[in-house]
C-alpha cells in the first residue's frame, strides 16, 4: 500500500489529480463550518458569543498535536526505511504545524481575556503548547542550517523523535509545576456543555483544517520533489 504512493514520480501524478479535490473539500467544509459557527449556532449560556472562538481555537489545537505526531511518524519512516517521500512529508508538515500551534495560542489568548480576564496564564495546557511551538521552530531552524540538505533531514528527524519522547515528559512536568503554582480558582473551566448545534460547526471546522493541512502538504511535497530534481540537474550540468 505504502509503496504504491512511495515513488515520487507516481506521487507527483496522483498529487496533481488529488489537489483540486482536496482544495474544494477544504473550501466547502470551511464555508459550511463558518456559516454554522457564526450564524447558525447558539451562544453559550455562560460564555455568550465569545464561545464562537472555539470553532477556530479547538481545531487549531488539535491540528498542532496531530501535525507533530504525523511529523514524527514520517521522520521515523524516513530514518528507518530511508524513504525520501517520508522525509519530504516531515519537512513539509513542520511549517503547517508551527502555524496551527501559533494560532491555537493566539486564539486561546483572545478567548482567555474575556473569560478569565487575562491574556495569558501559565496554565499547563497553554505552557505545553508554547513549548510545542518552540519544538517546531527548533526543527525548522535545524533542517535549514545545513549546506547539505540530506544532513539536515537526518539530523532534524532524530530531533523530532527525541522531541516525541519528550513531549509527554514535558506535559507531565508542566502539569506538576502547574498544580504547585496555579491559584486554584482561575481556570476552573468545565468547557461549554457541547450542544449538538455546536458540535457540527466544530467538527466541520476540524475537518476543514485537516483537509487544509493535506492541501498544503501536497503542494509543498510537489515543490520539494521538483526542488530535488533541480538540484540533481544542476549537479549534472556542473559535472557533465
Name the residues that contact another protein, by CB under 8 A. Answer: 34, 38, 43, 48-50, 52-53, 56-57, 60, 95-96, 99, 102-103, 106-107, 110-111, 113-114, 131, 134-135, 137-139, 141-142, 145-148, 151-152, 154-156, 158-159, 161-163, 165-166, 169-170, 172-174, 176-177, 180, 212, 215-216, 219-220, 222-223, 226-227, 229-230, 233-234, 237
- Min dist. Cβ of residue 134 to another protein (A): 5
141/189 with CB nearer another protein:
141
Give 46-113 as a DSSP string: TTBGGGGGHHHHHHHHHHHHHHHHHHHHHHHHHHHH--HHHHHHHHHHHHHHHHHHHHHHHHHHHHHH
Q: For the chain, what is the radius of gyration of the CA atoms?
A: 21
> Least distance to another protein from the beta carbon of 144, Å?
9
**CA 85 to CA 161: how far, in whole Å?**
17
Among 106, 101, 108, smallest CA distance to 167 is for 101
- Residues in the chain, overall count: 240
Nearer Cβ to another protein, position 2 or 165?
A: 165
Q: Which lies closer to another protein via its Cβ, residue 11 or residue 212?
A: 212
Nearer to another protein, 4 or 183 (CB): 183
By beta-carbon proximity to another protein, the closer residue of 2 and 40 is 40
DSSP state of 213: H
Residue 227's closest CA among 147, 140, 149? 149
* DSSP one-letter string for 112-169: HHHHHSSS----HHHHHHHHHHHHHHHHHHHHTS-SSHHHHHHHHHHHHHHHHHHHHH
Minimum gap (Å) between residue 1 Cβ and another protein: 26
Judged by CB, which is closer to another protein: 73, or 216? Answer: 216
Nearest-approach distance from CB 112 to another protein, in angstroms = 9
CB 135 to another protein: min, Å = 6
Could you identify the residue written with the cell 463550518?
33
CB 162 to another protein: min, Å: 6
Amino acid at each position: 500500500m505504502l509503496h504504491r504512493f512511495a515513488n515520487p514520480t507516481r506521487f507527483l501524478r496522483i498529487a496533481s489529480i488529488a489537489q483540486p479535490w482536496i482544495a474544494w473539500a477544504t473550501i466547502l467544509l470551511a464555508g459550511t463550518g463558518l456559516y454554522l459557527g457564526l450564524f447558525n449556532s447558539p451562544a453559550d449560556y455562560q460564555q455568550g458569543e465569545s464561545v464562537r472562538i472555539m470553532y477556530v481555537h479547538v481545531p487549531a489545537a488539535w491540528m498542532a498535536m496531530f501535525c507533530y505526531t504525523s511529523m514524527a511518524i514520517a521522520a521515523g519512516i524516513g530514518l528507518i526505511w530511508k524513504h525520501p517521500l517520508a522525509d519530504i512529508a516531515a519537512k513539509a508538515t513542520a511549517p503547517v504545524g508551527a502555524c496551527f500551534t501559533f494560532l491555537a495560542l493566539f486564539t486561546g489568548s483572545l478567548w482567555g481575556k474575556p473569560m478569565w480576564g487575562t491574556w495569558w496564564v501559565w496554565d499547563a495546557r497553554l505552557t505545553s503548547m508554547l513549548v510545542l511551538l518552540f519544538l517546531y521552530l527548533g526543527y525548522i531552524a535545524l533542517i535549514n542550517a545545513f549546506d547539505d540538505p540530506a544532513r539536515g533531514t537526518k539530523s532534524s528527524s532524530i530531533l523530532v523523535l527525541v522531541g516525541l519522547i519528550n513531549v509527554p515528559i514535558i506535559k507531565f512536568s508542566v502539569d506538576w509545576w502547574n498544580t504547585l503554582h496555579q491559584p486554584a480558582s482561575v481556570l476552573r473551566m468545565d468547557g461549554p456543555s457541547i450542544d449538538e448545534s455546536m458540535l457540527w460547526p466544530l467538527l466541520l471546522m476540524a475537518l476543514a483544517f485537516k483537509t487544509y493541512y493535506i492541501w498544503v502538504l501536497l503542494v509543498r511535497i510537489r515543490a520539494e520533489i521538483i526542488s530535488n530534481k533541480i538540484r540533481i540537474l544542476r549537479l549534472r550540468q556542473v559535472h557533465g
